[in-house]
């Protein structure tokens, strides 16, 4: 065994692969919403200046795959300019709980929205010859005890919710690398999980790239390589390299496993070598960051059309966040921006402004508000960072008090929020006519906020996560953050809006929600079944006076389903520009595979036959028109055995015919069972009986031999 082989499977240092035998070293660096290339040798945290694009919480709120692709392309150009081969992103874990410390780095509580957007992000990046690292694979939806916690999740939930976006991106965009997560899944570390890294990722999904560890995620190099992990980061890890060589020597590790891992790393380095150097236009990227940020802002409330501002009003700008923006979260994704817009300066360019920093001094702020036409209060969550979950959904007390004092002084008060994950609005929202959800918007966020406030951008951002009325309402509430090393995903498939809808709970703002300065009307939706799935067509008219953008959403329900499902699931969406007075004929396509559920009996995806209701509208709770189609099901049949119940036999055409003959022969004969089966109204009594057990009942028309014969004839 070549010692080089083992060394190739661990890093050379924090950010580079190990060179050797004519192979150069390549750079992998964070990610995801900018390029964080280490600026000086003794500081692994601070990066060189690079465009700080909007973090995923904002990017995803655009619901626009094209924008995300353009962001990926721009990131690829910056990587090329900085000689970065692999950018460590995107992060696509589901937002299981609104308290998740890294929610600002993730896309949504919905796997389809996440998967569609991340696919385009990866395509954009990789179109520049730079690799993505899809992370964190998998089920890394909390920061509490993140390096050890076991996420205990049933398989259907895993497949339909926590793995589904990964599956989509891997199969459709072919990322060069996938980064395994720190946590365990059902007891086994992701880094050592052969089922995850080999059976699912490679054998089922056809992944051919490199699995890289999250930084420090590998507890046992030998187990990791055996499971299918290729590159352990960071390095060097001489002890681990030696352990691999010893394990091969004494037969504990198949040499092919190590050769394969090293070969994949080699292929990655060679592939990266084809990347030509590049440069980027910092002004153009700043403009793109501003465009995305403007499209990400969600207008939550706008009573009496307080917004947009005309520019003729006197404006009180209140809150330090207007002057010192909160535009990204803490941790490995922290970018050193090329420049930084603040909202205070940007607003001053459009209207006469006076400013009060506010939080420590609501009196001054309230006096200023009383003396202005409009008051803009900048508030938000103080801190979101990798490594820690939040402990509340509430704004800091000082921010809440500021909102209340200013609103009491001026009825035209607009709250502008900066936060990486949802905050509770219910305690104060009734006091203000307008709320602008500004997330963390990246380096151009200040200008983008002014664009929306003054109507240069007509808001079209939509919520990618539900804003609950109370934290305790949330489906994850009872099972977060776990204890003694385990967190039980007790809500199962009912993550986010699926759970709120299933329990018919009121929410502050539903998934998919967002207002515009114009209005849209929906005509009747039509749906047709195609070879590839379902095609939905709907006319949407901009009935207001301004050009705008509508995010048209399709939610599917299967009312007669044989399996438990959420009342509705997002299956297609489109962000459509529609000029004032115009009608757009919107076409949305639902891939057949997206209709499938994970069938635990067969361990495979199954499309159930039956009626599918496609509800189309402006949010998950604002559905305007529904089209119903009959979808043919997959040809799957549960094997009939002696353990199958009488009802299962009768529900199967062949089983029903065979059993029918037995029952018909028994009709008229004596005995309690014969009597029961002869009377269809009693089927509920015997329906749950496993067929084989019928033989034990006195007077049964079935003997053990007869059951065996039936099973054989039914094709078992
Ligand atoms: C984070 C990853 C990041 C890596 C390298 C880890 O702590 O979880 O997202 O890419 O560090 O900085």
pLDDT digits (tens, 9 = 90+) for 175-187: 999 999 999 999 9
Give the pLDDT band of residue 41 (cuts 50, 70, 90): confident
Residue nearest to atom 6 of ligand 1 (CA): 215
Q: How far is CA 479 from CA 149, 164, 504, in A?
A: 13, 22, 20
Whether 343 and 491 map to the same domain: the answer is yes
The answer to whether the beta carbons of residues 309 and 441 sit under 8 Å apart is no
- Cα of 142 vs centre of ligand 1, distance in Å, is 14
Pocket mutation for ligand 1, best pick of 386, 387, 388, 389 (most atoms within 8 Å of C-beta): 386
Burial 482-506, CB ≥16 within 10 A → b, else e: beeebbebbbbbbbbbbbbbbeeee
Gap from CA of 38 to ligand 1 centroid (Å): 13
Find the 405 Cα to ligand 1 centroid distance in Å.
41
Residue 663, φ and ψ in degrees, nearest 5: -65, -40
Give residue 666's pLDDT band: very low, low, confident or very high (50, 70, 90).
Answer: confident
* Whether 438 and 577 share a structural domain: no
Query: Which pLDDT tens digit goes with each residue over 321-379?
Result: 999 999 999 999 999 999 999 999 999 999 999 999 999 999 999 999 999 999 999 99
Q: Which residue out of 140, 215, 328, 387 has the highest number of ligand 1 atoms within 8 Å of its CB and is therefore the one to mutate?
A: 215
- 450 & 566 share domain: no
Closest CA to 164 of 186, 134, 131, 124: 134
Indicate whether 527 and 470 sit together in one domain. Answer: no
Closest CA to 64 of 102, 17, 107: 107
pLDDT at 675: 63
The answer to whether position 664 is within a domain reads yes
- For a pocket test of ligand 1, which of 27, 88, 144, 328 has the largest count of ligand atoms closer than 8 A to its C-beta? 88
Write phi, then psi, for 638 (nearest 5 degrees).
-70, 135
Residue with the nearest Cα to atom 2 of ligand 1? 214
Q: What is the 3-state secondary structure (H, E, C) of 127-189?
A: CCCCEEEEEEECCCCCCCCCCCCEEECCHHHHHHHHCHHHHHHHHHHCCCEEEECCCEECCEE
Q: Based on the fold, state whether residues 618 and 682 are members of the same structural domain.
A: no
Residues that are catalytic: 214
Q: What angle do CA 153, 65, 156 make, to 5 degrees?
A: 15
Q: Which residue has the tokens 């995620």?
A: 217
Supply the DSSP string of 204-234, one letter for each residue.
Answer: IT---SEEEE-TT--S-HHHHHHHT--BBSS
Is 176 contained in some domain?
no
CA of 32 to the centre of ligand 1 (A): 10
pLDDT digits (tens, 9 = 90+) for 503-546: 999 999 999 999 999 999 999 999 999 999 999 999 999 999 99
Mark whether 465 and 606 lie in a shared domain.
no
Confidence band for 21, pLDDT divided at 50, 70 and 90: confident
Strands 86-87 and 43-47: unpaired
Domain that holds residue 569: 520-631
Question: Whole-model pTM?
Answer: 0.96
Q: Is 31 contained in some domain?
A: no
For ligand 1, pick from 332, 334, 387 the residue to mutate: most ligand atoms within 8 Å of CB.
332
Instruction: Give the position, in ligand 1's atom list, of the atom nearest the Cα of 31.
Output: 10
Strands 177-180 and 131-137: parallel
Q: How far is the CA of 155 from the centre of ligand 1 (A)?
A: 27
Mean pLDDT of 654-678: 74
Q: Are residues 546 and 627 in the same domain?
A: yes
At 673, the pLDDT band (50, 70, 90 cuts) reads low
- The answer to whether residue 223 is domain-embedded is no
Q: Closest residue (by CA) to atom 4 of ligand 1? A: 215
Residue 30: CB within 6 Å of ligand 1? yes
Query: Mean of the per-residue pLDDT values for the chain?
Result: 95
Q: Where do the H-state alpha helices sit in 378-515? A: 397-409, 445-453, 497-502
pLDDT bin (cut points 50, 70, 90) of residue 699 is confident
135 lines ligand 1 (CB under 6 A): yes
> By percentage, how much of the chain surpasses pLDDT 90?
89
| Closest residue by CA, ligand 1 atom 7 | 215
The stretch 299-306 carries a mean pLDDT of 98
For ligand 1, whether the C-beta of 332 sits within 6 Å is: yes
CB of 214 within 6 A of ligand 1: the answer is: yes
Q: 21 in a domain, yes or no?
A: no
Give 528: exposed, middle or buried? Use CB within 10 Å, 0-12, 13-18, 19+: exposed
CA of 206 to the centre of ligand 1 (A): 25
Residue 128 in this model has a pLDDT that exceeds 90: yes
Q: Which pLDDT score, from 0 to 100, does residue 670 have? A: 59
Q: What is the pLDDT of residues 551-603, one digit of tens each?
A: 999 999 999 999 999 999 999 999 999 999 999 999 999 999 999 999 999 99
pLDDT number for residue 687: 87
Helix ranges, 476-574 (H)? 497-502
* Per-residue model confidence (pLDDT) at position 660: 84
Q: Which two tokens stand for residue 266?
A: 């080699």
Residue nearest to atom 12 of ligand 1 (CA): 332
Which CATH number do you get for residue 383? 3.40.50.1700
702 band by pLDDT with thresholds 50, 70 and 90: confident
- Is the CB–ligand 1 distance for residue 143 below 6 Å? no
Say how many Å lie between the CA of residue 102 and the centre of ligand 1: 11
Task: Determine the average pLDDT of the residues in 223-243.
Answer: 98
Residue 548 resides in a domain = yes
Q: Residue 372 Cα, ligand 1 centroid: separation in angstroms?
A: 46
Q: Is 96 in contact with 489 (CB distance < 8 Å)?
A: yes
Q: pLDDT band for 678, please (50, 70, 90 cuts).
A: low
Residue 310 neighbours by CB under 8 Å, 6+ apart: 454
Distance 423 CA to ligand 1 centre (A): 25
Which of residues 578, 601, 631 is at a domain's end?
A: 631
Q: What is the pLDDT of residues 424-451, one digit of tens each?
A: 999 999 999 999 999 999 999 999 999 9
Whole-number pLDDT of residue 2: 55
For the Cβ of 128 lying below 6 angstroms from any atom of ligand 1, the answer is no
Assess whether 540 and 674 both reside in one domain.
Answer: no
Q: What is the per-residue pLDDT across 594-629, written as a single tens digit (0 to 9) for each?
A: 999 999 999 999 999 999 999 999 999 999 999 999
User: Domain holding 604: CATH number?
Assistant: 2.60.40.10
Task: Using the mean position of ligand 1's atoms as its centre, give its distance from the Cα of residue 214 in Å.
Answer: 6
Task: Report how far ligand 1's centroid is from the alpha carbon of 467 (Å).
Answer: 28
The best mutation among 56, 105, 213, 214 to test binding of ligand 1, ranked by most ligand atoms within 8 Å of the C-beta, falls on 214
* Whether residue 349 is found in the same domain as residue 489: yes
Which atom of ligand 1 sits closest to the CA of residue 88? 10
Predicted local distance difference test score (pLDDT) of residue 545 = 96
215 CB under 6 A from ligand 1? yes
Percent of the chain at pLDDT > 70 equals 97
pLDDT score of 684 more than 90: no
Q: What is the pLDDT of residue 669?
A: 64
CA-nearest residue for atom 3, ligand 1, is: 332
Task: Determine, yes or no, domain membership for 67.
Answer: no
Question: What is the total count of domains within the chain?
Answer: 3
Instruction: Name the closest-CA residue to atom 5, ligand 1.
Output: 215
Ligand 1 nearest-atom number relative to CA 182: 8
How distant, in Å, are the alpha carbons of 31, 53, 295, 438 from that of 444?
18, 8, 12, 12
Residue 694's pLDDT band, with cuts at 50, 70 and 90, is confident
Kindly indicate the confidence band of residue 674, based on its pLDDT and cuts at 50, 70 and 90.
Answer: low
Give the 3-state DSSP-derived string for 346-370, with helices as H, strands as E and coil as C.
Answer: HHHCCCCEEEECCCCCHHHHHHHHH
Would residue 102 count as lying in a domain?
no
- Please indicate, yes or no, whether residues 344 and 481 belong to a single structural domain of this protein: yes
Evaluate if residue 716 carries a pLDDT over 60: no
- The protein residue whose alpha carbon is closest to atom 11 in ligand 1 is 215
Residue 666 CA: distances (Å) to CA of 127, 643, 672, 674, 699: 70, 21, 11, 6, 10
Q: Is the pLDDT reported for residue 88 higher than 80?
A: yes
Q: At what angle do helices 445-453 and 282-296 cross, to 10 degrees?
A: 50
Task: Over range 216-242, report the average pLDDT.
Answer: 98
Please tell me whether residues 432 and 539 are part of one structural domain: no
Q: Are residues 333 and 412 in the same domain?
A: yes
Does the CB atom of residue 31 touch ligand 1 within 6 A?
Answer: yes
The preferred substitution site among 30, 93, 139 for testing ligand 1, maximizing ligand atoms within 8 Å of CB, is 30
Q: Is 620 in the pocket of ligand 1 (CB under 6 A)?
A: no
pLDDT at 3 over 60: no
Beta strands in 546-609 (DSSP E): 548-557, 569-578, 583-591, 597-599, 604-606
Distance 85 CA to ligand 1 centre (A): 16
Each residue of 47-78: pLDDT tens digit?
A: 999 999 999 999 999 999 999 999 999 999 99
Query: Cβ(105) to ligand 1 under 6 A?
Result: no
Distance CA 231, CA 221 (A): 10
315-325 exposure pattern, b = at least 16 Cβ within 10 A, e = fewer:
bbbbbbbbbeb
Q: Give phi and psi for 530, each to the nearest 5.
A: -115, 175
């Amino acid at each position: 065994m070549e010692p080089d082989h083992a060394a190739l499977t661990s890093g050379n240092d924090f950010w580079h692969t190990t060179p050797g035998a004519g192979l150069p070293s390549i750079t992998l660096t964070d990610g995801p919403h900018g390029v964080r290339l280490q600026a000086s040798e003794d500081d692994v945290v601070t990066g060189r200046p690079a465009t700080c694009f909007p973090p995923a919480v904002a990017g995803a709120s655009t619901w626009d795959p094209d924008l995300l692709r353009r962001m990926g392309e721009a990131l690829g150009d910056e990587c090329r300019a900085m000689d970065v081969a692999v950018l460590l992103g995107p992060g696509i874990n589901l937002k299981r709980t609104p308290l998740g410390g890294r929610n600002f780095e993730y896309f949504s509580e919905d796997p389809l929205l996440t998967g569609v957007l991340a696919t385009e992000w990866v395509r954009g990046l990789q179109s520049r010859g730079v690799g993505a690292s899809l992370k964190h694979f998998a089920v890394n939806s909390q920061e509490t005890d993140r390096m050890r916690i076991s996420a205990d999740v049933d398989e259907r939930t895993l497949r339909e919710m926590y793995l589904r976006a990964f599956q989509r991106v891997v199969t459709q965009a072919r990322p060069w690398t996938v980064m395994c997560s720190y946590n365990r899944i059902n007891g086994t570390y992701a880094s050592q999980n052969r089922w995850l890294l080999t059976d699912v990722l490679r054998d089922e999904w056809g992944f051919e790239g490199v699995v890289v560890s999250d930084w420090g995620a590998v507890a046992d190099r030998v187990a990791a390589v055996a499971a299918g992990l290729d590159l352990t980061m960071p390095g060097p890890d001489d002890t681990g390299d030696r352990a691999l060589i010893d394990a091969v020597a004494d037969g504990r590790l198949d040499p092919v496993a190590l050769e394969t891992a090293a070969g994949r790393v080699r292929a990655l380095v060679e592939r990266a070598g084809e990347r030509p150097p590049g440069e980027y236009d910092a002004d153009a990227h700043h403009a793109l960051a501003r465009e995305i940020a403007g499209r990400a802002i969600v207008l939550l409330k706008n009573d009496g059309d307080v917004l947009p501002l005309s520019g003729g009003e006197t404006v009180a700008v209140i809150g330090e966040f207007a002057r010192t923006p909160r535009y990204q979260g803490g941790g490995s994704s922290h970018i050193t921006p090329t420049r930084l817009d603040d909202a205070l300066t940007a607003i001053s360019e459009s209207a006469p402004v006076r400013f009060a920093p506010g939080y420590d001094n609501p009196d001054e702020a309230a006096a200023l508000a009383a003396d202005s036409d409009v008051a803009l209060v900048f508030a938000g969550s103080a801190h979101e960072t990798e490594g820690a979950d939040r402990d509340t959904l509430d704004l800091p007390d000082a921010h809440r008090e500021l909102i209340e004092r200013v609103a009491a002084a001026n009825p035209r008060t607009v709250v502008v929020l900066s936060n990486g994950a949802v905050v509770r609005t219910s305690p104060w929202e009734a006091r203000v006519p307008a709320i602008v959800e500004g997330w963390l918007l990246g380096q151009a966020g200040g200008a983008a906020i002014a664009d929306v406030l003054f109507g240069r951008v007509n808001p079209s951002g939509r919520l990618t996560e539900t804003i609950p009325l109370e934290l305790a309402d949330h489906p994850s509430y009872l099972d977060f953050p776990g204890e003694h090393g385990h967190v039980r995903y007790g809500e199962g498939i009912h993550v986010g809006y699926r759970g709120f809808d299933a329990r018919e709970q009121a929410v502050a703002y539903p998934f998919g929600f967002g207002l515009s300065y114009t209005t849209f009307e929906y005509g009747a939706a039509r749906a047709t079944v195609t070879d590839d799935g379902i095609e939905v067509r709907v006319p949407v008219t901009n009935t207001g006076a301004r050009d705008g953008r509508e995010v048209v959403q399709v939610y599917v329900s299967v009312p007669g389903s044989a399996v438990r499902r959420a009342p509705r699931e997002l299956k297609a969406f489109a962000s459509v520009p529609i000029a004032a007075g115009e009608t757009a004929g919107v076409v949305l396509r639902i891939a057949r595979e997206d209709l499938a559920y994970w069938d635990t009996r067969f361990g495979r995806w199954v499309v159930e036959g039956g009626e599918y209701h496609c509800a189309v509208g402006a949010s998950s709770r604002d559905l305007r028109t529904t089209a119903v189609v009959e979808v043919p099901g997959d040809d799957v049949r549960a094997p009939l055995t002696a353990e199958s119940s009488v009802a299962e036999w009768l529900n199967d055409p062949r089983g029903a015919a065979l059993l029918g003959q037995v029952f018909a022969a028994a009709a008229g004969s004596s005995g309690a069972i014969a009597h029961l089966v002869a009377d269809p109204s009693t089927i509920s009594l015997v329906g749950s009986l496993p067929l084989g057990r019928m033989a034990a009942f006195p007077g049964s028309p079935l003997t053990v031999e007869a059951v065996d014969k039936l099973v054989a004839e039914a094709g078992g």
